[in-house]
Each structure stands twice: as structure tokens, then as C-alpha cells.
Structure 1
Amino acid sequence: MLEQELFYSPAEVADMLSISKRTLLSWENSGKLVPKQHPDDQTKVYTKSDLVKFLPGFKMFNTNWAAEMLTKPIRDFYSIELFAGAGGLALGLEKAGFKAVLLNEIDKDACQTMKTNRPEWDVRHDDIANIDFKPFAGKVDFLSGGFPCQAFSYAGKKLGFEDIRGTLFYQFARAVKEAQPKVFLGENVRGLLKHDNGRTLDTIKEVIRDLGYTLVEPRVLKAVFFMVPQKRERLFLVGIRNDLAQKFKFGWPSPFSRILLLRDALKAGILFPCDVPVSSGQKYPKRKKEILDHVPPGGYWRDLPEDLQKEYMQGSYFLQGGKTGMARRLSYDEPSLTLTCAPAQKQTERCHPEETRPLTVREYARIQTFPDDWHFCGSLSSQYKQIGNAVPVNLAFAMGRSLIRLFNDIEEDIVRESVSDESDPIKQMEFAF
């Protein structure tokens, strides 16, 4: 009999193929993708041979993840990080091999979090507008940051660098202009793609061209493909300085070989050697807990008895729309939904799969793939906010490895050219004069 792990549940397959469960069911009804019955319990399951027919499945089962994990920097590559938050992106990039020489963040608690965990990091608690990046020119290789998404004021004209003053992207662009890194990484929400009918991203692309950088076509990465047990999407923008862009190409990271589940975050296994440690967390009011006690794992408000649906939803009960985040209980057998800045907001509930309570701070952190020894500072609400706003560490690690490969290629070419120059007698004569 085939081993248990060779079977994939409908929930796993929907995540692997980036489709909804409803779409998966319609594929079953149309014959496009028909499940088998599990030999033990007769539940619907799929096998590798079913899934490799689809591009996402093919990529997952034919991944270069293991080879990419061996990526190491051939020298120290120095970096600056802006809008660093609690350090999720910075930690992943550090794991990949980058050496941060400056990290900037305006939130006091987030700065204290980074200083507590990495005393050697130069963390600047300041408004980015107050920082001069010109002293770093020629000294840093890389600059990164998750600049907030803001609209620009167009007044009917095409915008350039000087026209976007007053926005945080302007400050990000100013840092790139002054520090002149070989490569930069911008990170943002998926919504930037269509923000202001696409004009925001078009302006960003124009400014990047003005700065002398070539932008790799932006791509949305789903964290669930990169060893993160969470359905979270982030948009990444990679810019390569024009003197390097024609010669070197950036390769996006390959996916991990399977989808990780909430169980992988909270229990001992592939991500962590032990179950999640006990930590502080928010509590539900008495009546809310009584109502959520009736929601099954993976369920939401529509799984409540009708009288409780009406009581919990109040006027929203009669409105159109799924409102699937309300009264939502997570399931061990699926990835977590995207974490927000608080686990007990009514519109985006994140209830523990077994116990009727919000996720704790350490549970939140594990879902974002922070290590258990990464301590968060500030009030309870501040800690949740820091974690909820972070880039998942393993997603940042995957991007970091791809960037290190790019830098290794650049560095190896520099070394080859240097050796070639030394062996060229004509060039040696030029140097002599």
C-alpha cells in the first residue's frame, strides 16, 4: 500500500494549485481533476500523478529547493534595511548571508525588539527623512525595505523622482539614489499591483528607471510555497543597477516540496523541535467564547446554529457577501489564514483550532516562522502588531538565497575580469602609464 504522505487532501490541493475549494469541486464535477478514495478511510484524496499535470504541482514536485538551500555568499555582502519592523525580512536575509550595517524603523517597540535580539545591529529609531544615506555609497551592496503603499498626487502629469516628495516611497527611492547599491529589494502588499488603477506602480517603475536601475518584473509570492504555514501574499520588486542589469539575471526562488499546515507551526515537526511554548495572549469576552465554542475547526459563522448566527452577526447577517473571516476557527490540517495586526478582530478572527481563544503571541510568531527565541517587546497589542506586519522569516530567507546567488554571480564576474586584466600585457602597460 502507498505511504500516507503520498496522499493529498482537497484543502492541501487547493492551496498547492492556488485555487479555491469551490473551484476544485467544480473541476471534480467536470472531470478535470477527479480525486481518489483513501484506502483507509475512503475520504477524497489526490496523488502526485494527479497534480503534476498542473504547472504549480509540477513546480512543487520538480523543485530546486534542496540545491538552493546550499547557497552561501562567496564574500560578505553588506546591506541596509528600511521600514524594518520587528525584523522578519532582516532575519531572513541574515540567514541567507547578508550583513546589515543599518536598519531603520520609526516604531519604538519594533526597534527595541530588534535591539534586544540582535544587539550588534545598528538599529536607528528615527524618521527615515532624517537619515543621510550618502556616506554608504560604495560601501553597501544591497538595500531592502517594505515601503508603505501610498497614492501619489498626479495633477494630470507623469511623475518623476522629485514629484513624489512627501511619500515614503520617495524616501526609499532617495536612499537608493544616495547609497547606490548594486541591487535593491522592495516589498509590499499585493494590492499595490492595482492601487489607483495601476498608476501607483507605473509611477514607481518610472522613478526606478530615473534612478538608473532596471526593475525585474514584480512578482507576488505566496508564502505557503516557501515553508511558511500561512496563506500570505507579498509583492516583491527587485531592481538591478543599470551597469549590471544587462549582464546578470535574477532568478526567483523555487517552491518547497509540500505545503506546510498549522500543525507544522504549533506542533513539533519539520519547522520546530518542540510544541509551541506557552505565552501570553488575548482573551475573548464570556459571551463571544460561548458562541465560538460551537464553531468547528476550519469553520466560521455560517457553521453556527441560525439563532447564534443572527446574534453574532447582528445587522451583517442580512447583508450580501461571504464574510468568511468572521467567527473563524483555524484548522490544524490547513495553513493558517493571513495573520493581521490582532488575532481577535471581528472581521478577521483567528481562533485556535482546539481551544476557544485567540492565538497567543508565540503561536502568531511561529506561523510567521520567527524562531522561538526571538523576543518581542512592548505591550501585548504592540507585539501582535509587530508580528502581523512582518514578512515571514522563511519567505525572506528564500528571497535572500536568490539574491545571494545573484550577488555571487556578480562577484565571480568581477574576480574573472580582475584576473583577466592582470594577465593582459596591454592593460598592464596602460596601468603603468
Structure 2
Amino acid sequence: MISNWQNLDFSKPNHCIRLATCFSGIGAIEQAFKRLNLKHKIIFAGDIDPKVKQSYFANYKIKNEDWHEDINLFNAKKYKNEVDLLVGGSPCQAFSAVGKRLGLDDDRGKLFFEFVRILKECEPKVFIFENVKGILTHQNGKTWRFLKSHLLELGYDIHEAVLNSKDYGIPQNRERLFCIGFKEKTNFSFPEPIKLEHIMYDFLEDYIDTKYFLKEKGIKFVTSSWNRKKHYTQINGDIALCQKRNQQFNWHGDLIYHPLKTSNDFDEFVFEVKDVEEKYYLSEKVAKYVLSAGTKNFKTSTKTDLDIARPLLTSMHKMHRAGVDNYVTHKGRIRRLTPRECLRLMGFRDDFKIVVSDTSMYQQAGNSIVVDVLIAILKKIDISKYGVENA
């Protein structure tokens, strides 16, 4: 049975929602509006990371004067009564269970009050605040009660819930607190979970650059009994682990195993360490060429793992030229997720332009909000009724 919120239509589909964001990242709420084909105008946005600005400006329309880099210096008073929806998720490391949990003693934790200040200055009709669920249990709940009291003092009708991405169409186990405030008293309930129709495999790319495959040291680490016992890594999981901003720098998280096509036994290969130097593997480009059906001038049926080798060429520069050399498969390969795959698991479609390094893109994807969860919330809110006819 399809959940009610999936069937909901926006009551004012032609209205334009004036959108503003703090700690904007790569624009999850902007992606949600884009995927919903809702008219919207970005009133202001900002982030302290210059690499984030590169990604944001490559993907969204915004004037440079409406972008803020240091939220502590940003004055939102000039936008009063010009914002329909304000969205923000202040840095979560101060409250995360995997961090030191310094909370409000951490400068990043104090940024919540900047969000409250901006909320007070621009007075949006609706706001969405997102953070790790650990903020609810920090200091036995005292921290969240204290923070929530500041939102209530502004007169907003507050609703809060922890939502998991895997309950809203994305195969990622990512639980986050969503706090929604309405300027007027509102009969609101959070979107109901839906059946997960996809697994992580459905979000993978077809062709992968060899740089994403692990070398021997990485394979030994991620397949160690300690890592598997602690569940810090998983290989070929159906539901991704929670994506993190630092996954570029360690081997914890999701790994993908590419088995030999001739093998039907996953366990036979997955924990073996390859003992052939990287340089002896075919690059993606060469592999696609030599295993192809041939060209109009040359027809061949190239095979791997021959029982009897073809004659060896004496000239190295002729190797792979005709596509009739000897090739062997070897123990399968293990790789990390690519930046594009991480974006897909955050709900970003492939038209999102990647204009920064892999390192930055991993960070930006891991810091974002899952777009599909926001889509469910926007539909349940019926955000269109808070928009304006002419904007």
C-alpha cells in the first residue's frame, strides 16, 4: 500500500517558495525543490567552506551578495518578511555519538544560536532544522530541551522526529533529527515510512576508474576480522552505512566487491589479498577495447583465462593493439564508493555538477541532508501553500 504522503498533490503548485538556507552545503533542499519541479527562488545561502561555494554556484542560481561565508557576521534583517522557508543544519560533530560530544562547549555546537538569531531576524513562515539524533541524548536530553526552548521563545509551533533515510526510498542507514517550526499553529504529522524498493547496488556506476580500487594494504585492513567483527565496514551491503564526510581518508564504510565473472562463490574471493602489482591490471579504457567484439576492420572474439596461450608478441609497444593477447582474471577486486555514488545515496541526481576534487566531494556529500527525506517532509507540509504568487 502506498503511503498517503506519496499521493499528496501540492495545493498551490504555481506559487513560488522563497527559500533561504544556513550551513547550506551542496543544497539538499534546493535539490528537493528541483526534483519536485516546484517554483522557488533562493533568497540567501552560505557556507564557510570555499569549496562548498564552488559546488553551490555551479549548480544553483544565486547572487553573490546573497551568499554569506561567515554566519557569525551575517545580518539577515534585510530579508525580513522575504523568506517562506528557512533550512539549516548546524555542524553536528559537537553532538555526534562518534565525536567527543562537547556540545555547547564546542564552537561548532554554539552555531545553533546563530541559526536561532537568523530565524529571529528574517522571520520565515516555516523552518526546518536538521542534526544528528545524538543531540537528543546529549547530557541526558538537557541540551536539546535547552536549545528547543530558544525556538519556542520565538513563537514557533515545533514538531520534531528522528527519520531514517532507508524509510524514505534511499538505501542508507542514516538517522537524523528533523525539527520543523511553523509561524502559525499547524496540524502537522511527519511522513510515514515507505517500503524500500531499492538496494545499494542499484545506485552504483557501471564503469569505475581504477583509482577507486583498493591496493593490498587497504584490502588487508577492511577485510580484517577486527573490522568485520566491529561492523565498521561492509562489503556489497544492501543498505549503505551512514555516509560520512571523512570517508576519503579512511577505509571504514561501504566497499564494493567485483568478483570474477567465472566465479559463483563470493566467499571464495572476497577476503583474498591480490598479489599482483597494480600496473599489470588493464585500465578501464584498455579492458573495454580488448574485450569488445572488434571493429569494422578487425573481428575477434577475445577471451580471458585461455587453456593454451596465444603466441607472445616480442614487441611491447604492440601489446593490446590487435586485441588478441593473453589476459587472465585474478581474485576479483574491492573498491570504495565513488563520489558520484555517494551523491546518489544522498538523493542527488546525476545532473548535479561535480566541480571539486574527490576529497572535497566526499566531504560535501557526507555533510549533506538526504534529499528524499526532505521531499517527503515538503509534501507532508504542503510547502506550496506558504509560497507567493509573484516572486
Q: If the length of structure 2 is used for normalisation, what is the TM-score?
A: 0.69
For the residue of structure 1 that corresponds to 2:235, the secondary structure is: coil
CA distance in 2, matches of 1:125, 1:209: 26
Q: Match of 1:352, as an amino acid?
A: I
Structure 1, residues 129-173: CA drift from partner, whole Å, max 9, x if none? 1111111111111111011244236xxxxxxxxxx9992111100
Show the counterpart of 2:129. Answer: 186
Deviation at 1:330, TM superposition (A): 2.6
Deviation at 1:256, TM superposition (A): 3.3
* Cα contact 1:88–1:391 (8 A) shared by 2: yes
Structure 1, residues 239-280: CA drift from partner, whole Å, max 9, x if none? 112xx11xx3223223334342112212xxxxxxxx556468
Show the counterpart of 1:131. Answer: 74
After TM superposition, list the pairs within 5 Å mapping 1:48-127 onto structure 2.
61-68=1-8, 73-96=13-36, 97=38, 98-120=40-62, 124-127=67-70
Q: Match of 2:13, as an amino acid?
A: P
More helix by share: 1
For the residue of structure 1 that corresponds to 2:72, the secondary structure is: helix
Show the counterpart of 2:157. Answer: 214
Report the RMSD for the aligned CA atoms in angstroms.
Answer: 3.0
> Would the alpha carbon gap of residues 344 and 411 (structure 1) be closer, same or farther in structure 2, given more than 3 Å must change?
closer
> Would the alpha carbon gap of residues 265 and 166 (structure 1) be closer, same or farther in structure 2, given more than 3 Å must change?
closer
CA distance in 2, matches of 1:166, 1:67: 38
Deviation at 1:411, TM superposition (A): 7.2
Structure 1, residues 396-422: CA drift from partner, whole Å, max 9, x if none? 22222223x1552x679x9xxxxxxxx
Show the counterpart of 1:330. Answer: 236
For the residue of structure 1 that corresponds to 2:336, the secondary structure is: coil
CA distance in 1, matches of 2:356, 2:136: 33
> Would the alpha carbon gap of residues 184 and 365 (structure 1) be closer, same or farther in structure 2, given more than 3 Å must change?
same
Deviation at 1:236, TM superposition (A): 0.2
Match of 2:194 among 256, 271, 280: 256
Show the counterpart of 1:391. Answer: 369
Show the counterpart of 2:345. Answer: 367
For the residue of structure 2 that corresponds to 1:337, the secondary structure is: coil
Q: Are residue 172 (structure 1) and residue 79 (structure 2) matched?
A: no
CA distance in 2, matches of 1:114, 1:411: 23
Q: Match of 1:325, as an amino acid?
A: Y
Equivalenced residues, count: 302
CA distance in 2, matches of 1:192, 1:259: 30
CA distance in 2, matches of 1:385, 1:71: 37
Show the counterpart of 2:176. Answer: 234
Q: Are residue 348 (structure 1) and residue 278 (structure 2) matched?
A: no
CA distance in 1, matches of 2:348, 2:133: 22
Deviation at 1:283, TM superposition (A): 4.6
Deviation at 1:85, TM superposition (A): 0.7
Structure 1, residues 39-87: CA drift from partner, whole Å, max 9, x if none? xxxxxxxxxxxxxxxxxxxxxx351243136666351121211101111
Structure 1, residues 4-39: CA drift from partner, whole Å, max 9, x if none? xxxxxxxxxxxxxxxxxxxxxxxxxxxxxxxxxxxx
Deviation at 1:382, TM superposition (A): 1.1
* Cα contact 2:87–2:129 (8 A) shared by 1: yes
More contact order relative to length (CA 8 Å, sep ≥ 6): 2
Q: Match of 1:364, as an amino acid?
A: C
For the residue of structure 1 that corresponds to 2:243, the secondary structure is: coil
> Would the alpha carbon gap of residues 64 and 210 (structure 1) be closer, same or farther in structure 2, given more than 3 Å must change?
same
* Cα contact 1:343–1:349 (8 A) shared by 2: yes
Deviation at 1:347, TM superposition (A): 6.7
Structure 1, residues 105-126: CA drift from partner, whole Å, max 9, x if none? 1111111101011244656251
Deviation at 1:206, TM superposition (A): 0.8
For the residue of structure 2 that corresponds to 1:186, the secondary structure is: strand
> Would the alpha carbon gap of residues 214 and 373 (structure 1) be closer, same or farther in structure 2, given more than 3 Å must change?
same
For the residue of structure 1 that corresponds to 2:146, the secondary structure is: helix
